[in-house]
Chain A
Amino acid sequence: MQPQLIICEHCDSVYQRPALTPKQTAHCQRCGALLERGRHLTTDQLLALTVAAAILFMLANAFPIVEISMQGLSNEATLWASVEALAEGRITIIALVTGLSIIFAPALQIILLGWVLYHARGGRIAPGFRTCMRALEHLRPWSMLEVCLLGILIAIIKLAGMLEVHAGLGLWAMAMLTVLIILISGRDVRDLWNELQVPVR
């Protein structure tokens, strides 16, 4: 309706939409919250990073994150095995939360972003664009790869005292994936609403 106006989500102040150069930010005068950020990445760049993220996601899930050995025995764990370890007995519900935060939420983010960006590249609005964008908005707080990465490092240090611990291929993939997810799941993609001029009914 009024694309030239912008409302602060933290205090309801209304402003004229500022014209920002890339990496410039605008903050709310009243509450200090971030209003808008000049775009970092173009649609092409976002799509390229999303494809890279999809590949890294598959590697991070296919290969073990950490391997340990003790007295000639060895064992390894993937992300999925970590989720499964919580799925026994009365604590199963925590396995669901963990699975959401380190596997399902990032996976959905990559799939939805890929779908939306692939179409946006040709200037088209993807089928189901509204649902995809709203899902992305609601998924963001539940995607916790960076917390998982710190958790893996702590687990490695914890076990290194008693066992032999090696980082698996999955860990390197996951470390890179974490950086990519932070880059692509930011606010940049929100600009698509205006850029594609999604019609208002």
Chain B
Amino acid sequence: MSSPPFASELDLQLCHDCGQVCQSGAIECPRCDALLHHRKPDSLARTWALLITALILYVPANLLPVMYTDMFGSGSENTILSGVIEFWRDGSWDIAVIIFIASVVVPCAKFLVLGVLLVTVQRRSRWAMRERARLYRFIETIGYWSMLDVLVVALVAALVQFRALSTIEPRLGILFFGLVVVLTMIAAMTFDPRLIWDAEINDDRHA
């Protein structure tokens, strides 16, 4: 089975906004006016920068409390992990697992996968290209579920407002955590999966 040609070999490029097939070298898409790029500009450098920033912010996101709970005069602060543990102890292990996946597993998977993709692309690796492409699509799809904890805190804080009796307030940790989610989402959008396949083009056909 012969593999399909690459767009660059036919002097074509794709408009990401409307899917139009455009001539190589065109600056704007003739159909929707979007700026065209052969590859997303500075994809590797920008993705690295966003990824490392997100990784740094992930530390305070986990160390700082995300929520302050005051029930009948006794106040306590929860971090993301202590919240998970509390759910687990109360017997809601299913909720604990869901929050753990959304707040810990998903962001860590994104860090790991984007890191591996960046390093392998830079080394022009031809290892497991199909699998790496699939991994990229996977983290692109699941990434936004990490917003879960932010939304839970928002809703709970909006609801539990009984002045003297009990209140729940958001804390600084949720800011860092939210920023991590946004930055990793932008990092995934900035990475250009076509770079994975460029190793094949330049090594094979134009050597």
Per the bound structure, the CA–CA distance linking A9 and B20 in Å amounts to 11
The closest CB in chain B to the CB of A33 belongs to B137
With A7-B7, A11-B193 given, is the CB distance from A77 to B16 under 8 Å? no
Q: Are B170 and A86 in contact (CB under 8 A)?
A: yes
The majority secondary structure among interface residues of chain A is: mixed
Q: Are A82 and B144 in contact (CB under 8 A)?
A: no
Q: Are B12 and A5 in contact (CB under 8 A)?
A: yes
With A15-B4, A97-B182, A157-B92 given, is the CB distance from A31 to B197 under 8 Å? yes
Choice from B10, B150, B174 contacting A14 with Cβ under 8 Å: B10
The closest CB in chain A to the CB of B132 belongs to A31
Contact flags (1/0) for A77-106 with B, using CB distance below 8 Å?
Answer: 110011111101011011101100110000
Q: Are B178 and A97 in contact (CB under 8 A)?
A: yes
Q: Are A11 and B166 in contact (CB under 8 A)?
A: no
Nearest Cβ distance between residue A176 and chain B, in whole angstroms?
19
Task: State which residues 87-144 of A face B: CB under 8 Å.
Answer: 88, 90-91, 93-95, 97-98, 101-102, 130, 133-134, 137-138, 141-142, 144
Task: State which residues 1-34 of B face A: CB under 8 Å.
Answer: 1, 3-8, 10, 12-14, 16-23, 30-34
Contact flags (1/0) for B72-106 with A, using CB distance below 8 Å?
Answer: 00000000000000010010100100110000000
A158: Cβ under 8 A from any B Cβ: yes
Report B-chain residues with C-beta under 8 Å of the C-beta of A137: 16-18
A71: Cβ under 8 A from any B Cβ: yes
Interface size bracket, B side: 35 or more
Q: Are B30 and A201 in contact (CB under 8 A)?
A: yes
A150: Cβ under 8 A from any B Cβ: yes
Q: Are A134 and B17 in contact (CB under 8 A)?
A: yes
Report A-chain residues with C-beta under 8 Å of the C-beta of B152: 151, 154-155, 158
Q: Are A85 and B157 in contact (CB under 8 A)?
A: yes
Report A-chain residues with C-beta under 8 Å of the C-beta of B23: 1
Q: How many residues of A contact B (CB 8 A)?
A: 72
The closest CB in chain A to the CB of B159 belongs to A77
B196: Cβ under 8 A from any A Cβ: yes
Per the bound structure, the CA–CA distance linking A71 and B12 in Å amounts to 68
Nearest Cβ distance between residue B106 and chain A, in whole angstroms?
11
Interface centre among A10, A150, A154, A161 (most CB of B within 10 A): A154
Nearest Cβ distance between residue A18 and chain B, in whole angstroms?
12
Task: State which residues 150-171 of B face A: CB under 8 Å.
Answer: 150-162, 165-166, 169-171
With A73-B165, A77-B159, A159-B160 given, is the CB distance from A193 to B19 under 8 Å? yes
Q: Are B155 and A10 in contact (CB under 8 A)?
A: no
Nearest Cβ distance between residue A34 and chain B, in whole angstroms?
9
Q: Are A13 and B4 in contact (CB under 8 A)?
A: yes
Report A-chain residues with C-beta under 8 Å of the C-beta of B98: 150, 154
Nearest Cβ distance between residue A169 and chain B, in whole angstroms?
16
Report A-chain residues with C-beta under 8 Å of the C-beta of B52: none
With A29-B3, A68-B160, A75-B160 given, is the CB distance from A157 to B95 under 8 Å? yes
Query: What is the interface of chain A, defined by CB distance below 8 A to chain B?
Result: 1-3, 5-7, 9-15, 28-33, 65-66, 68, 70-71, 73, 75-78, 81-86, 88, 90-91, 93-95, 97-98, 101-102, 130, 133-134, 137-138, 141-142, 144, 147-148, 150-152, 154-155, 157-159, 161-163, 190, 193, 198-201
Instruction: Given A134-B18, A137-B18, output 13 extra A-B contacts at Cβ < 8 Å.
Output: A7-B13, A11-B196, A12-B197, A31-B134, A82-B155, A84-B158, A94-B178, A95-B154, A98-B154, A141-B185, A150-B98, A150-B148, A154-B99
